[in-house]
Structure 1
Amino acid sequence: MRDAEEFDALYAACAGRVVGHVYALTGNRAEAEDAVAEAFMRAWQRWATVRETDSPEAWVRRVASRIAVSSWRKAFNRVRAHRRAAVDQGVPGLNEDHVALLQALQRLSANERRAVVLHHLNDLSVAEVAAEMQAPVGTVKTYLARGRRAMAGLLTDAHQEETSHG
């Protein structure tokens, strides 16, 4: 009974954050939700091990990210077409800034995008990002610097296009 209660508490505390993280990585809410559901299922199957980790939430986030990226790589063309259709139809709750942010994130390399999302959207420290990505702190700082520089250019370009067309 204790296992189920602990697991339920973890799910209640972090499922929304993890879905938001994976959504920012993939740009596809349905895939994010599927990846997070799969990650929580794996966490439950390995709960005795997962509960003993430094951060069960980080474990779930890492597994969900890997599931999503793997799925994304396998179905790149399908996802890209879906994203275009979703942007064209408009997603309730998303404004033009959110769409621009997600589109800019998709232009980053996978490692830059993951570092930027973990650090800036999930508020993890550089050390925590490095631990989650299993990369040296210096490498994460490089990913963040490159990602921020690229995002600044992409978002500035998007803003300039918007103001020149609007």
Structure 2
Amino acid sequence: MDAAFDLDELYTASYRRLVVQLFALCGDMADAEDAVQEAFVVALRKRRRVAAATNPEAWVRTVAVNRLRSGWRRASMVRRHQPRVPGPQAAVEVGPEHVAIVTALAQLDPDQREVVVLHHLADLGTAQIAAELGLPEGTVKSRLARGRARLADLLDEREEPRHA
């Protein structure tokens, strides 16, 4: 295919057709749509390969079908091993304080959020976090300090003003 390859045109021309084809394969519209969407995400990342393909739509379809097959393998593995997993536990109750903390955590930088959660919720020390994430311990400590400071600010903003 030449340099004038347009992924947007491919998407417009083939999205519906691909979804219908994958729906016929899997019998689940949401799975079919997800597989086609993910295939187009891969196509964005690998635009040159798609452009060089003899049939770009077939290339995208192959990626989408492989995504479905991967999902089937995962589901098969879960079905095979699930009987050995203990049954459900009582529902986890989430109070307003927990919701406020999770909302504040969502506003942290992902790297900071990860170390704050591992330290405070998984009860890991900085050395354990560093080993688990493959980071220097100093990096973990600085992310933890910045994350805590930002979290404190976010949670203070949520408190109602006190009246004198």
- Please indicate the TM-score interval, normalised by the length of the shorter structure: 0.3 to 0.5
Higher helix residue share = 1
Query: Considering only CA atoms, is the larger Rg found in Structure 1 or Structure 2?
Result: 2
Q: TM-score, normalised by structure 1?
A: 0.42
Q: Which has the higher contact order (CA 8 A, sep 6+)?
A: 1
